[in-house]
Amino acid sequence: MTEVKRVVVTGLGAVTPLGHTRTSYWENLKAGVSGLGPITLTPANDELTQKVAAEVKDFDPLKHFAERQISTLDRVSQFAVVAAREAIAQSGLIFDMPLSVRTATILGTGVGGQTTHDDSFRRVYLEKRTRVFPLTIPKLMVNAPASQVSMDCGLRGPAFAVASACASATHAIGIAFQMVRGGLVDCAVTGGAEACITFGTVRGWEAMRVMSPDVCRPFSKDRMGLVLGEGAAMIVLEPLERAQARGAEILGEIVGFGMSADAADLTAPDRGGMARAMQAALADANLAANDIQYVNAHGTGTAANDDTETKALHEVFGPHAPKLAISSTKSMIGHALGAAGALELVATVLAVREGIVPPTIGYLGPDPACDLDYVPNSARSLSIESAMSNSFAFGGLNAVLTVKRFS
């Protein structure tokens, strides 16, 4: 039987609407800063009905890449590589042999290179050009961010993309966690990336009729829906003994992963599916419900998600539910789809490490359907031993991670 290893986090990286580093991201989360603003990234912002998103602002690829490399990288892969470099630098790992071939690269992305997609379709359908750029296909493919991180960072072990819409990154991190835990690899660079604020994609979300016209207010009364976000977050995972042997700083421990499928509605959230994923993530970690102090909720700010997630939290945590600190960082960074779970896991690991819960901003007051403690509007000091991060996707695919403070 395979030896089960403890899996620790030794590196974090983030490119977000609140800054292009993990430090700027985390400081702004704690300060309750909104990363939302006017949509500027599409070729026809004025034509869109939706005016607001959480864009990664002032991101200059030339600060990070040579011009030759930029021509191979869609915006989504640029985010992924920059975040991966930061996480690896923090870990202090050097990926020479044999570690390079023993390191996995598992990345979540919901929709891949949307900027490349949109630009190409615009050329052929609108401008009636007969040619698109030569690297259109390898830039837009959904595995491009995983491939680019592997190439840029010299990671030669198992590498692939995981796609489950809004749960992609959480599924990716969970699979990487299982691979390190089971000894299939000695290290993993994992997380998620998304750059979906394009004309066609925003139009698609408009048609769903679930977007807020201004502010994302998860769990609040008078919430009006979600706001799209973008960015990337990356996490370096390795076995505890390896991290200790090389004297690495240990940022936290991943202890459990749970998954489920609703097998019900295409878009409507399902309390049972959510609850089963949370219960599986607790059981996988040998945690009881009342061991958890903090939940980073999926909390999209839609009427349906927040109501259903609250009911699922009641089902899983029972009388402990009102004692949980629950927050949705989507109130500050929007919903970055396939990157969301990674951005939220970084926030969860840092919350556990520092004993500070980031708030749910934009909160106007209680909705009778959402009757728990959502840490409204300002951060809170709280000693956290164990925390949970939730991701629930369209298509009914649910993924939940549990994290422990390392001591």
Partner 1 sequence: MSDVASDVIAIIAKKKRVEKSSVEMSDRLEDLGLESLDAVEMIFDLEEKFDIQIPYNANTNNPRTEFETVADVVKAVEELVAQKKS
How far apart CA 81 and CA 330 sit, in angstroms, is 22
Per annotation, catalytic residue among 153, 166, 187, 370: 166
Which secondary structure element, helix H or strand E, spans residue 25, and what is its range? helix 22-30
Among 4, 124, 268, 364, binds partner 1 (CB under 8 A): 268
Among 23, 40, 71, 267, binds partner 1 (CB under 8 A): 267
249 binds partner 1 (CB under 8 A): no
> Angle at CA 389, nearest 5°, toward 395 and 321?
105
How far apart CA 331 and CA 52 sit, in angstroms, is 13
For this structure, is 298 an active site residue? yes
For this structure, is 64 an active site residue? no
Pairing of strands 386-393, 325-327: unpaired
Q: Least Å distance between CB 180 and partner 1? A: 39
How far apart CA 48 and CA 202 sit, in angstroms, is 8
303 binds partner 1 (CB under 8 A): yes
Q: Least Å distance between CB 333 and partner 1? A: 19
225 binds partner 1 (CB under 8 A): yes
For the chain, what's the residue count? 407
Residues 35-94 that bind partner 1 (CB under 8 A): 49
Residues 188-217 that bind partner 1 (CB under 8 A): 207-213
Among 224, 250, 261, 289, binds partner 1 (CB under 8 A): 224
Per annotation, catalytic residue among 20, 64, 117, 335: 335
Q: Least Å distance between CB 213 and partner 1? A: 8
- What are the structure tokens assigned to 402, written together? 């549990």
Residue in 324, 309, 331 with CA at minimum distance from that of residue 392: 309
For this structure, is 117 an active site residue? no
Helix (H, G, I), strand (E, B) or coil at 244: helix
Residue in 134, 138, 137, 17 with CA at minimum distance from that of residue 79: 17
Among 23, 204, 265, 322, binds partner 1 (CB under 8 A): 265
Residues marked active site are found at 166, 298, 335
Residues that bind partner 1 (CB under 8 A): 49, 207-213, 223-225, 265-268, 301-304
